[in-house]
Structure 1
Amino acid sequence: MPANHFNTHCPDWAEALLNGFSQIFLQRHPLCGLLCLLAILFTAPALLGGALLGGVAGLLTAQRRGYTKADRQAGLFSYNGVLLGLLLSLYFPWSAMLPPLILAAGGLSAIITQQWLKRVRLSQFLPAYTAPFVGLSWILLVFATPSTEAHLIEVSTLNLLAAPFKGIGQVMFLGHPLAGALIAVGLLIADRRAFCWALVASVTGMAWSLLHHDVYGALIGLGGYNAVLAALAFSSQRRQPWLPLLGIALAIGLTPIFAALGLPTLTAPFILACWLLRSATGLWRQRARSLPNPGEST
């Protein structure tokens, strides 16, 4: 179903919220967002309430504060809230305090996103990506009980085939292959190139983890999800396919740094990889423009 046909039957608020889910994967497509939502519902229903609360909090905050409607409809004020809702639902037990905390975090993420968007548009500032989510999560996780639970997972053909889909799902803390498969279908509907790059990145991350004897991380998808996001960030560069490849390599290479610093990895390697790559390409373009044209007479 084409996105515009889907939109005609979708209220503005619902479209904005679904776009928020799809923006986690750097897409603007409500049907992709719906499949992301279904991935949570079918594989981790306990997290769905938090995801919806966080997304709605960001959207309502943007609406009440009069942020640009086009940005609201694009889901730009919801996706960080969705991720925060997922994280808080995963790491904190449900209590009377959790919904207000999710609402506050989602609303604050929208305010941070708006300020970031202003700077991007005024001074070519680097994109926020999921930086509001990561920054707020690092603060919130200080108060969470660390989880040391790890299950043995057998190296088998089935687990190896499932791992790339788990890598896609882990972007949203979903370690079930069905979740990754649903999200992958959403990416395929939204953008075939994005779908292909996401799979390439997830497989690459899995292979890298296996090469470094991190079998557990490889088979549950933890080795690939940052690479997936980095590849998606540059997947539209049709004439520069090396950009997604560099993004994948940087995201994978930067991941151990955050563990060494004692920081939760989350999507920080993806953000840093994209910032480094965008900064480097920007400097290269500036340098290319400043060089004299060989065809000019001296």
Structure 2
Amino acid sequence: MQNTHCPDWATALLNGFSQIFLQRHPLCGLLCLLAILLTAPSLFGGALLGGVAGLLTAQRRGYAKADRQAGLFSYNGVLLGLLLSLALPWSALLPPLIIAGGGLSAMLTQQWLHRTRAPHGLPPYTAPFVGLGWWLLSLAPTLPLSVPVDATLLNLLAAPLKGLGQVMFLDHPLAGALIAAGLLVADRRAAGWALFGSAAGFVFTWLHHDSEQALLGLGSYNCALVALALSQQREQPWLPLAGIVLALLLAPGFAALGLAPLTAPFILACWLVRATVRAWRQIRLDTTPCTLRDNRPRLR
């Protein structure tokens, strides 16, 4: 159904912001956009530029309109715009770099969708963002350090909301609250799972004596994304739980390799869970005895 309240390009762009959290809902995207504008205005321009670059690239190259409208070619560009605006100082080189990153992410997404649209294909999630992000971060090997947070009751309660915000590099509880509100509008069940995943990541990180990472939400955001992605299988509630555990176990490996985790633990955890479920189904199918067909003529 076409949106009658705003032009197609605006709907597609807002859907791109909501697709960061695996939703297709313009109001959710608008609240995500407001979360950036109100809590990190210095990142707003980069996020918008990256999303527009991905959308225009998809339009110029004639990619499917349904995918453009769903925001599938914008969300990786938004994340790249946020990352580059955070990691690099302002210069004349920054806007072209964001535009190039957003456009290239759209092309990578199209190639992925073209090759994995089969029923058993693995979704791209934020893989174009992670791959390009690691490459672009070679221009700025370290991200800015976060301000330490005291372990007060208020900060403890705000940590799961910060986990939602950290998906978009936002460390303010208001950002997480706006994102949670957007998820509630789009899908209440998804919002519940996202908050549960973020809280689980916080508890795990806190119990492993990394209180600073826990309070900043840096141990939570991948868990929130995994819970969002795998909770879509409503008949299998154990999937998001397994994915959360995997994301927590995988995250330290990227630090050991000297790579910024970004959303890589989320992607790998989801792929592993989906591949395991598919393999298990195939094993069950292969071991199920075939029933002999009755070829005798039947009476009408």
TM-score class normalised by the smaller sequence: over 0.9
Deviation at 1:8, TM superposition (A): 2.0
Match among 127, 133, 142 for residue 129 of structure 2: 133
Shift of 1:296: 6.3
Structure 1 residue identity aligned to 2:179:
I
Partners of 2:86 and 2:143 within 8 A in 1: no
Corresponding residue to 1:278 among 271, 274, 280: 274
Q: Which runs of 4+ in 1 moved over 4 A?
A: 294-297
Q: In the alignment, is residue 33 of structure 1 matched against residue 29 of structure 2?
A: yes
What number of residue pairs does the alignment pair up? 293
| Rg larger in structure | 2
Give the aligned residue type for 1:267.
Answer: T
Q: Which residue of 1 aligns with 2:225?
A: 229
Cα RMSD between the aligned structures? 1.5
2:151 pairs with 149, 155, 163, which one? 155
Matches of 2:115 and 2:181, distance apart in 1: 34
Q: Do structure 1's residue 46 and structure 2's residue 39 form an aligned pair?
A: no
Please state how far the C-alpha of 1:293 moved relative to its aligned partner.
3.7
Structure 2 CA distance for aligned equivalents of residues 81 and 17 of structure 1: 11
Matched residue of 1:149: which SS? coil
Indicate which of 153, 164, 167 corresponds to 1:168.
Answer: 164
Gaps of 5+ in 2: 294-300
TM-score by length of 1: 0.95
Match of 2:194 in 1: 198
- 1:249 aligns with 245
Could you tell which deviates more after superposition, 235-244 or 132-141?
Answer: 235-244
Specify the alignment match of 2:71 in structure 1: 75
Distance 2:134 2:269 in 1: 18
Kindly tell me: are residues 178 and 57 of structure 1, through their superposed partners in 2, closer, same or farther at Cα, counting changes over 3 Å?
same
**1:219 equivalent in alignment to 2:215:** yes
State how far apart, in whole Å, the 2-side matches of 1:281 and 1:179 are.
Answer: 34
Deviation, structure 1 residue 295: 7.0
Q: CA deviation at 1:60?
A: 0.2
| Residue aligned with 2:162, SS | helix
Instruction: Say whether the 8 Å CA contact 1:193–1:236 is kept in structure 2.
Output: no
Provide Cα deviations, 1:219-263, integer angstroms capped at 9, x if missing partner.
010010000000100112211000111111111111001001111
Q: What percent identity do the matched residue pairs reach?
A: 69
Structure 1 unaligned blocks of 5 or more:
none
- The amino acid that maps onto 2:280 is W
- 1:94 is aligned to 90
Structure 1 counterpart SS, 2:117: helix
1:110–1:249 CA distance, 2 compared to 1 (3 A): same
In structure 2, do the counterparts of structure 1 residues 16 and 224 end up closer, same or farther at CA, with 3 Å as the change threshold? same
TM-score normalized by the length of structure 2 = 0.94
Asked if the contact 2:134–2:260 (Cα under 8 Å) also holds between the matched residues in 1, the reply is yes
Give the secondary structure class of the aligned counterpart of 2:71.
Answer: coil
